[in-house]
Structure 1
């Protein structure tokens, strides 16, 4: 009886031939929109590339659409921003500032205020590690940004989350972790006074 030779195992598909997911296409769409907003491509070209991105079936079809655009820095490419409230407190914002992917805030005795309302941010997600300690930490995010507070330990001071779940396309998710400590942690959108100030000074640096 003649032994049958084993059938050859199927070869893995080349990386570019892999099927693209909905998330893969959406990531390219967001990157193209950002590039248009930055003036890197005009709106006519944006429309053409968006159409190709939405019809793309493989990574090989998606890759050329962003090949001439600069890489978007990932959350791990920059060191964390460390803020310590100390005795007198500290803050970052509401003026324009460049947001890293990881922010660590220790309320200390003076407290920390972290205001993203005028921040420059192209990240999809920002990790904010907040420790309320004695004076607490307040985080203010623009309308359209959302927060995930499921990883937060409320501690004695508690967690106050006044954000809405309505996330606008292209905006980051704030992933809040840490502990409320004695004074607690608050995350919210701008209040009435802050909104009036933002409207009165729309181009404030």
Structure 2
């Protein structure tokens, strides 16, 4: 992500990442009750149409500095790693399988970013990604190699749903993307 727009030269053009950072801060403020829904709608419209940092800065200056989330880094190492259950999805995730595998289950995760970059490196153990129905998975930037990619999702998801953009490489372990299986769906029903 970029730096706080209020610290940048006002005439400098704003990027999509700059606008998205402001949108996320506004959504957080609404979730915390610092601004109401009507004000959120107004500010979101202004943020999405902003062309410069000077147009973005006033939208969040009364809310404090833009907090940029650190990327989530998972390293499979020898024993593997996973993230599942209820967790907050950051805009950037890096997963390195190593000899053990990595599993990322987004089924119960809270995902506020509209687009999540997931940099994967399948290495020896491979990476399993479980996404809810309706999510879009884009893998055109993923470097395919020995392990390959198995994408068992339907492709294009529901409008307004998160987009998971895969980058990195499959390596020997490969990368698998799928929806929750029968056992996982049953477990979800039991937790509700």
Corresponding residue to 2:35 among 27, 33, 41: 41
**Residue pair 2:135, 2:163 contacting (<8 A) in 1 also:** yes
Structure 2: distance between partners of 1:69 and 1:170: 28
1:118 equivalenced with 2:108 (yes/no): yes
How does the TM-score come out when normalised to structure 1?
Answer: 0.65
For the pair 1:179 / 2:170, whether they are aligned, the reply is: yes
**What SS is found at the alignment partner of 1:118?**
coil
Equivalent residue of 2:10, what SS?
Answer: helix
Q: Kindly indicate whether the alpha-carbon contact (under 8 Å) linking 1:93 and 1:119 is maintained by their aligned counterparts in 2.
A: no
1:22 offset after TM fit, Å?
A: 7.8
> Could you give the per-residue CA deviations for residues 131-190 of structure 1, whole angstroms, max 9, x where no partner exists?
152x53211123444333234343333210123232654735332322241x53201222
- 1:63 CA drift (Å): 1.6
* 1:83 matches 2:76: yes
Structure 1 residues 152 and 51 mapped into 2: Cα distance closer, same or farther (>3 Å)? closer
- Pair 90,40 (structure 1): closer, same or farther in 2 beyond 3 Å: farther
Q: Which has the larger radius of gyration?
A: 1
* Matching residue of 2:66: 71
Structure 1 residue runs of 5 or longer lacking an equivalent are 1-13
Return the match for 1:137 from 127, 134, 138. Answer: 127
Per-residue deviation, residues 96-150 of structure 1 (Å, max 9, x unmatched):
2355633223252x533222223355554333323152x5321112344433323
